[in-house]
Structure 1
């Protein structure tokens, strides 16, 4: 732990001043600073433990998700009714196909918009160059605002 830190979880003039200032401005801030002074040395271990638990949970759920997708369940459980499960699977496949079509349409529109912006930028640049050539040909120096 960096012991040269100005704000560390112990009774230093800086932490006491921040605590008093917190109570003056908004009392929950002062209370939070008091809790940090008293329990701050335990926060590092608490944070490490919480992160480890969250990582374990995320690993378990991602393994479950990948297994269920590989089994073709689309993250849904079987109801036991074969006809309903078949219908649901067909509907989910249809929705996936619709989503794929929408994604393709969005990609096409994005490329169209990019091309439109590029054409507009090219037209503006060409107009700028034309005006610049015309002003230089007529012997005028273009005015540059700085």
Structure 2
């Protein structure tokens, strides 16, 4: 997480101002901002937490865009509509490839951390004094 971000969980002037404005405009917005300030940091520590949130946000926005395109997809030019649909399909395939690569990378990083932890544990077990042998 970028700690220099203007809007991060915590009591920053920006989050407090947004909370106050949220309460003035519509009280659930202020309550949501208060929850973000108090509990936002706890949700960023989970593994894949940000990735899951990003995917969920993308799916929501993609459904809206897809619905929007369905409503206004007819430009009156069949060739343009076919080209646009082909480009959207190509971009979707690229997005899926990138998502797959991201998942592979996260899996790779998880395995690296696991291997490092295993190595540290094995070293600890080798170097620690044998308590049962010294007492007998």
- For normalisation by structure 2, the TM-score amounts to 0.46
Q: Pick the structure with greater CA Rg.
A: 1
- For normalisation by structure 1, the TM-score amounts to 0.43
Where relative contact order (Cα < 8 A, 6+ residues apart) is larger, the structure is: 2
